[in-house]
């Protein structure tokens, strides 16, 4: 199954890449080619990329292959999951403060936090970049995160 080839997901993946460049000022991904090629490269990237929408509560609307593996979820299970459920209950207040900071500042590139997989496996993410996903016209489209440093906390 290659969910990232659906046209709306190709467009969303490209929005993530473009929005990261605009907000953070550096490329998320070094990929050339058409939009499907960029979406495929993002899905197969060696680092995690995950995003949520602007719903209340925000729900996950993208996760690349590394995100699916880390949270131990299939694509259908990940999509639509309230993003707060990726964090333990004790970590949710800190997560909310982070998201408010991202909303104010556009991005944060020094986030560390504890997350939990769908099977209860706890892990710490370090030096995550979290950014506001914004359309080229300036419309808010959610928030996204990327990271590659993960330490599993459970045996």
Predicted local confidence at residue 155, as pLDDT:
64
Q: Does residue 1 have a pLDDT over 70?
A: no
Q: Which of the two residues, 22 and 155, has the higher pLDDT score? A: 22
- Per-residue pLDDT tens over the stretch 74-109: 999 999 999 988 888 777 788 788 888 888 999 999
Mean pLDDT for the stretch of residues 54-61: 94
| Structure-block tokens of residue 35 | 């939009």
- Angle at CA 147, nearest 5°, toward 141 and 152? 125
**How much is the mean pLDDT over the chain?**
92
Contact call for residues 145 and 48 (beta carbons, < 8 A) = yes
The CA distance from 35 to 10, in Å, is: 6
The CA distance from 132 to 34, in Å, is: 24
- Find the helix or strand (DSSP H, E) in which 14 lies: helix 7-24
Range of the domain at 138: 3-152
Domain of residue 135, CATH code: 3.30.450.20
**Count of domains for the chain:** 1
Confidence of residue 3 (pLDDT cuts 50, 70, 90): confident
Beta-carbon count within 10 A of 30 CB = 6
What pTM was estimated for this model as a whole? 0.92
Mean pLDDT for the stretch of residues 41-56: 96
């Amino acid at each position: 199954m290659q969910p990232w080839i659906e046209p709306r997901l190709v467009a969303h993946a490209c929005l993530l890449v473009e929005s990261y460049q605009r907000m953070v000022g550096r490329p998320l991904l070094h990929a050339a080619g058409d939009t499907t090629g960029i979406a495929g490269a993002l899905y197969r990237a060696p680092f995690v990329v995950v995003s949520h929408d602007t719903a209340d509560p925000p729900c996950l609307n993208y996760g690349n292959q590394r995100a699916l593996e880390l949270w131990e979820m299939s694509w259908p299970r990940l999509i639509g999951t309230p993003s707060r459920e990726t964090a333990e209950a004790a970590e949710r207040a800190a997560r909310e403060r982070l998201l408010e900071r991202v909303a104010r500042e556009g991005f944060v590139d020094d986030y560390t936090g504890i997350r939990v997989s769908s099977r209860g496996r706890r892990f710490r993410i370090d030096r995550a970049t979290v950014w506001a996903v914004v359309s080229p016209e300036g419309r808010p489209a959610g928030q996204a995160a990327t990271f590659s440093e993960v330490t599993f906390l459970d045996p």
